Structure 1
């Protein structure tokens, strides 16, 4: 099939920053795109060939959107899978396949998938409603502390809470959920696996993630991870095992814990480009967004090696600021060597909302980490006064 400067049409469900960065690659190759999002101000709206305003969770809307594209992909998991399944049955190519997406969409189903396929993960309990947890604790079925996760619709730190006392249960929504045993870990790691429609597989280097303690969001992504080669090899093997059983097509970002005993446990996965791979735009031979396009179109996969050490800093809305966004001290970080900011195009900021990221590249990892800290302390994402 001819994808380039042709009538071929790629559909993307979701118009956020991941879709916007995917469109950098489709525009580079002159691939026609159609994007749908619920927000009229979605970052993707200015860069695609056709923008459709609509709910990603409405069956009829998603089904209608997908009927006239050749390949349909996602940039967010919270989409109507029943509509995607019907499109698949009618001959539309959907990647990731709906079977994989159904498993990943629900965190309880996802955890059961790991246990069924002998993939190492933390012990957990599944609940139809959060209100059942109190009885489980009272009867000795569950011990404090644990990590509560909503089974569906969690995103960017939302739908996750560490429960240390009974008081912590009070404000949680009464929904299907899981309670995970807390892991005493050394590091939080991630591996991105690319699997093409033609069956080829490759992985990106293991990255290390540093999280914001309050927002439960990644603050820094460090590539390569500062870990032993044996641990990196084990992390890659576990990620490949998940990919093999999941039979996804496209990218699969596998988030992992490295325990104090250097065991590797799967935390969760995302079947799309991922925050842990943003560094690749500047630091890798093939960035994750181009790789995703290559994979879902069955094109040869690109080289995943890094050209240079890379660190990504997330730009999130400052606490106490809601409204029209202002990026303070941008000129100061642009004066720093090896620093590249990416602004997502969201006009409204709010506390901890992802508004952009900055990549720092350097031949020396320790120097790059110091610059990343300086960047984090310098640029401020605030609202207009």
Structure 2
């Protein structure tokens, strides 16, 4: 099948910033696209060939949308997986598969998957109700502190909380969850693995991530990670093991903890382009978004090596600002060497909402990190 300047149609569930950046690639390839999102102001609406406003968690909506395209992919995990499974039964190509997504959608199921496949991960307990956590603490089956994670619908730092006291438990949302040991790690790492339909596999270099302590969101991504080669090699081997276990098609971002004893534990995965790969747009021979499109269309995978050291800075809404967005001092950062801003097209800002990112490239990763700090301290995402 020809994907270039043809009648082929690629469907994308979700029209957020990841969908928008996928469309950079489909425009380059002249591949026809159809996007669905619940918001009429979705960032991807202007770059696709056809945009539909609809609920991607609704069974019939996803089913009808999937039947109207040739290959279906997604930019967010919160979609109706039952509809994807039915589409596969009807012969529709869905990548990554409903089987992969069903495991990843639920953090408890995802953690059990790691245990079953001998993939190192932090010890955890699974709970159907918050009251069960209270009982476990009272009876000595669970020790404080621990990390609480909602089993479903956590995203961008939401659905994760460090529980340090019994009173903290009272504030937790209800529903299925996991309680995970609080790991004394020294670095958070990520490796993105690409795998096409034919089974060709490539990994991107290990990156290190620095998180905002309050929002639990990535603030900086550094590529390459400033770690010994034996550590990054170990991370990439583990990411390949995770990829092999899932047998996914497309991208799989494997987030990991590097412990104080130099052990590597899998935290969680995302079956799509990921925040930890945004710097690849400027920094890599093949950016993660092009690699995802290549993989799901079973095209040869591109070169994942870095052309230059790169750092990504997330642009998130400033605290105490809600409303029409203003990017204060953006001209100032654009005057800095090697700085490229990406604005996602969200007209309304709110505290910690992802509004864009900035990539900084330089031959020296430490210099790039220094410039990234200046960028972070200069630009402000505020409201009018």
In the superposition, the TM-score normalised over structure 1's length comes to 0.99
What is the CA distance between 1:171 and its match in structure 2? 2.0
Q: Secondary structure at the match of 2:293?
A: helix
In the superposition, the TM-score normalised over structure 2's length comes to 1.00
Aligned to 2:32: 32
What is the CA distance between 1:173 and its match in structure 2? 1.0
Aligned to 2:173: 173
Aligned to 1:204: 204
- Measure the CA separation in 2 of the matches of 1:131 and 1:249: 39
Q: How does 1:222-371 map to 2 (within 5 A)?
A: 222-371=222-371
- Measure the CA separation in 1 of the matches of 2:142 and 2:55: 37
Flag as ranges the 4+ runs of structure 1 deviating above 6 A: none
What is the CA distance between 1:70 and its match in structure 2? 0.7
- Measure the CA separation in 1 of the matches of 2:180 and 2:130: 13
What is the CA distance between 1:127 and its match in structure 2? 0.3
Matched, 1:142 2:117: no
Q: Which moved more, 1:167-176 or 1:180-189?
A: 167-176
Q: Secondary structure at the match of 2:370?
A: helix
Q: Secondary structure at the match of 1:99?
A: helix
- Measure the CA separation in 2 of the matches of 1:231 and 1:35: 40
Q: How does 1:209-220 map to 2 (within 5 A)?
A: 209-220=209-220
Aligned to 1:81: 81
What is the CA distance between 1:181 and its match in structure 2? 0.2
- Measure the CA separation in 2 of the matches of 1:99 and 1:130: 28
- Unmatched 5+ stretches in structure 2: none
TM-superposition CA deviations, 1:319-353 (whole Å, max 9, x none): 00000100000110010000000000000000000
What is the CA distance between 1:256 and its match in structure 2? 0.2
Q: Secondary structure at the match of 1:7?
A: coil
What is the CA distance between 1:129 and its match in structure 2? 1.2
Q: Secondary structure at the match of 2:130?
A: coil
Q: Which moved more, 1:20-29 or 1:164-173?
A: 164-173
- Measure the CA separation in 1 of the matches of 2:349 and 2:155: 17
What is the CA distance between 1:288 and its match in structure 2? 0.1
What is the CA distance between 1:366 and its match in structure 2? 1.1
- Measure the CA separation in 1 of the matches of 2:190 and 2:183: 16
- Measure the CA separation in 2 of the matches of 1:269 and 1:373: 27
TM-superposition CA deviations, 1:130-178 (whole Å, max 9, x none): 2210000001110000000000000000000000011212221111000
Q: Secondary structure at the match of 1:131?
A: helix
Q: How does 1:39-58 map to 2 (within 5 A)?
A: 39-58=39-58
Aligned to 2:121: 121
What is the CA distance between 1:66 and its match in structure 2? 0.4
